[in-house]
Amino acid sequence: MWNAIKELKEIAFSVTDTNDNDGVAKALEELLRKKETNRILT
């Protein structure tokens, strides 16, 4: 989440938007999009 502390964001493999801006939903949508793309390509 974007509102995490700086040190966590620096080591995270991905950072999404804030809670107030639907960060969890955006992260889930991105994960599902990647999963669907991988399914199509394999």
pLDDT tens, position by position, 5-41: 999 999 998 899 999 999 999 999 999 998 877 777 7
Prediction pTM value: 0.66
Q: What is the pLDDT of residue 36?
A: 76
Instruction: Summarize the chain as % helix, strand, coil (round to 5).
Output: 65, 0, 35
Name the amino acid, one letter, at 2.
W
Sign (positive/negative) of CA torsion 13, 19, 23, 24?
positive
Question: Using CA atoms, how far apart are residues 21 and 11, in angstroms rounded to an integer?
Answer: 22
Say how far apart CA 29 and CA 8 lie, in whole Å. 22
pLDDT value at residue 18: 92
Read off the pLDDT band of 42 (50, 70, 90): low
